[in-house]
């Protein structure tokens, strides 16, 4: 890949690191913010996939649907399919708890912890498929 794609992909991965850190902080706060932890888990998975697509020069729409962007990533590397299909469960967390009309009920601490674990798994799987120089510092 041309080196000019590295900065954009690296910026995506820096944002993933920030979302994972924020999700962990709010999950383990004295008064845990579980809905926010779920939001950050979804965002981390989304940005990891978009960083992967950016690295490969693959276009993607400005969308929060993990199924849609996962399809493009799977087109590049079919071995990502089982994990990225599993990660689609995070899609609703992009918005459902951001507004009062959400109808998923109250999340549990375990739900939030599992979501963050899944997002980390997506991030790691994607980083494992990329050269060292694209990884955030």
CA distances to 9, 70, 87 from 58, in Å: 11, 12, 20
The chain-wide mean pLDDT, for the chain, equals 91
Q: What percent of the chain stands above pLDDT 70? A: 92
Cβ distance 127 to 13 under 8 Å?
A: yes
Residue 57 confidence (pLDDT) = 92
Between 104 and 53, where is the model more confident? 53
Phi/psi for 65 (5° steps) reads: -75, 110
Q: What is the pLDDT of residues 64-88, one digit of tens each?
A: 999 999 999 999 999 999 999 999 9
d(CA 20, CA 127): 14
Please give the model's pTM, rounded to 2 decimal places. 0.91
Cβ distance 112 to 97 under 8 Å?
A: no
**At residue 20, does pLDDT exceed 90?**
yes
3-state secondary structure 5-63: HHHHHHHHHHHHHHHHHHHHHHHCCCCCCHHHHHHHHHHHHHHHHHHHHHHCCCCCCCC
**At residue 1, does pLDDT exceed 80?**
no
Average pLDDT over residues 105-129: 95
Ordered domains of the chain (ranges, CATH): 3-99+107-129 (1.20.120.330)
CA 7 to chain centre: 18
């Amino acid at each position: 890949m041309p080196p000019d794609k590295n900065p954009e992909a690296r910026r995506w991965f820096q944002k993933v690191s920030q979302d994972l850190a924020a999700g962990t902080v709010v999950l383990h706060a004295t008064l845990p913010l579980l809905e926010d932890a779920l939001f950050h888990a979804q965002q981390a998975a989304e940005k990891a996939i978009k960083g992967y697509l950016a690295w490969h020069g693959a276009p993607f729409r400005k969308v929060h649907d993990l199924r849609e962007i996962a399809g493009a990533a799977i087109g590049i590397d079919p071995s990502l399919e089982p994990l990225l299909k599993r990660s689609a469960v995070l899609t609703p967390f992009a918005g459902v708890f951001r507004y009062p009309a959400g109808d998923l009920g109250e999340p549990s601490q375990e739900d939030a912890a599992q979501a963050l674990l899944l997002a980390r798994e997506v991030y790691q799987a994607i980083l494992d498929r990329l050269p060292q120089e694209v990884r955030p510092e």
